[in-house]
Amino acid sequence: MSKVKVGINGYGTIGKRVADAVKAQNDMEVVGVTKTRPTFEAQTAIDKGFSLYVPEDSLKAFRDAKMPVKGTIKDLYKAAEIMVDCTPGDVGEKYKAEYEAAGIKAIFQGGEDHSLTGISFNSTANYSESWGAQFSRVVSCNTTGLLRTLNPIDKKIKIKNAYVTLVRRGVDPGDSKGGPINGLEPTVKLPTHHGPDVKSIMPWLNINTMAIKASTTLMHLHTVVVELEKETGTDEILNIMRTSPRVKLIKSSSGIKGTAEIMELGREMGRNRSDMYEIVVWEDGVKVVGKMLYYYQAVHQESDVVPENIDCIRSMCKMEEDASVSISKTNKSLGIRQ
């Protein structure tokens, strides 16, 4: 079986990780990645053996920087069967017409609206909905995190209402221009877009979200309060989480007090870029009282969507019909145990 040819438009925080994850699969290959500026990341892409494609108006800058490029972004369309668009939020929508004209498939990321594709993707919640689709959208890191725990719980014990506060990292570790440098910033446009984004995949779910931006770069942290339809026990919820893909239960008694220790764990696990692809739940922070469920979870925003993109490629390119087979294959390639 020939490998599916994947192009990555936007070799940035997400794009570089998706490129490495595609390279780690035996049923797909990276045929090229794009950058607009000859930065160190462009050089590392070349050093890793990725073919570099750039916008027409960037050709001179890369020539002057003596960075070899294979062609323009439009040349990449000729080599790829599917593009993974990892350009900054709202930039992807400008490329959709080009992908369409080139007759290739494309996956967009959470910075684009659900309306751009009409299909949003999460491997455990709705893998088959993207089957054979020309366009789909992998939901953002926070939405991916919420779906990974709320969807399996809702499947077993119906959720009446969910109330989530997202404490969001200010910027990614590699970003020196964002903020807040000091303090906490409430997102006053309420309810935040996260609830509707979860509903793009679980439209029946009553979910209410608020968000606070914090001066940290490491991870997002969620407080989740769920009103269940029926009384249950803490152990039943823990068992659901323990058997849900890409959810990792940890204990504060193991020294993992917060997101700093989680990222240190990623280093200790020898993960590529110390990435924590799984949603991390404090086991001793899960509590059920009657019908009310309380828990905390941490999201590594730079990497949790990466395995989702791999599974989305398999669904859109009709490579594997069984979601659990694709999830296991992807997990194995990335060192994810469950």
Ligand X SMILES: NC(=O)C1=CN([C@@H]2O[C@H](COP(=O)(O)OP(=O)(O)OC[C@H]3O[C@@H](n4cnc5c(N)ncnc54)[C@H](OP(=O)(O)O)[C@@H]3O)[C@@H](O)[C@H]2O)C=CC1
Which residues between 28 and 67 bind ligand X (CB under 6 A)?
Answer: 34-37, 39, 55
Question: 220 vs 329, which CB is nearer to ligand X15?
Answer: 220
Half-sphere exposure of 247 toward its Cβ, with a 13 Å CA cutoff? 28
The residue (of 90 and 229) whose beta carbon lies closer to ligand X is: 90
Q: Which residues are annotated as a binding site?
A: 13-14, 111, 140-142, 169, 194-195, 301
Contact status: 117 vs ligand X15 (CB under 6 A): no
265 binds, among ligand X, ligand X15, none (CB under 5 to 8 A by kind): none
> How is residue 235 annotated by DSSP?
H
Cα angle 88, 92, 98 (rounded to 5 degrees) comes to 145
d(CA 33, CA 70): 10
**CA-CA-CA-CA torsion sign (61, 76, 12, 267):** negative
Any residues with CB less than 8 A from the CB of 139 and at least 6 apart, and which? 110, 120, 121, 122, 147, 197, 198, 200, 201, 305, 308
- The one of ligand X15, ligand X, none whose footprint includes residue 195, by CB under 5 to 8 A per kind, is none
Partner that binds at residue 10, options ligand X15, ligand X, none, CB closer than 5 to 8 Å by kind: ligand X
Q: What is the distance, to the nearest Å, from the Cα of residue 307 to the centroid of all Cα atoms in its chain?
A: 7
Closest to ligand X by CB, 276 vs 305, is: 305
| Strand runs labelled E in 17-67 | 28-34, 52-54
User: Residue 130 is which amino acid?
Assistant: S
**Cβ at position 289, least distance to ligand X in Å:** 33
Q: Which is nearer to ligand X, 220 or 293 (CB)?
A: 220
| Residue 91 near which of ligand X15, ligand X, none (CB within 5-8 Å, type-dependent) | ligand X
Look up tokens 């504060």; give the residue.
252
Distance separating alpha carbons of residues 220 and 167, to the nearest angstrom: 6
Can you count the helices (H) and strands (E) in the chain?
12, 16
Q: Which of 141, 167, 224, 317 binds ligand X15 (CB under 6 A)?
A: 141
123, 147 contact by CB (below 8 A): no
Q: Which residues are annotated as a binding site for D-glyceraldehyde 3-phosphate?
A: 140-142, 194-195
What is the contact mask toward ligand X in residues 122 to 161, using x (rule: CB under 6 A)? ------------------xx--------------------
120 is an interface residue for ligand X by CB under 6 A: no
CB of 291 to ligand X, least distance (A): 32
Judged by beta carbon, residue 52 or residue 107, the one nearer ligand X15 is: 107
Residue listed under structure tokens 């940290």: 216
Residue 86: active-site member:
no
Site size with ligand X, rule: CB under 6 A: 28
| CB-CB neighbours of 298 under 10 Å | 27
Active site residues: 141
Interface residues with ligand X15 (CB under 6 A) are 110, 140-143, 168, 301
Interface residues with ligand X (CB under 6 A) are 9-15, 34-37, 39, 55, 86-89, 91, 109-112, 140-141, 172, 301-302, 305
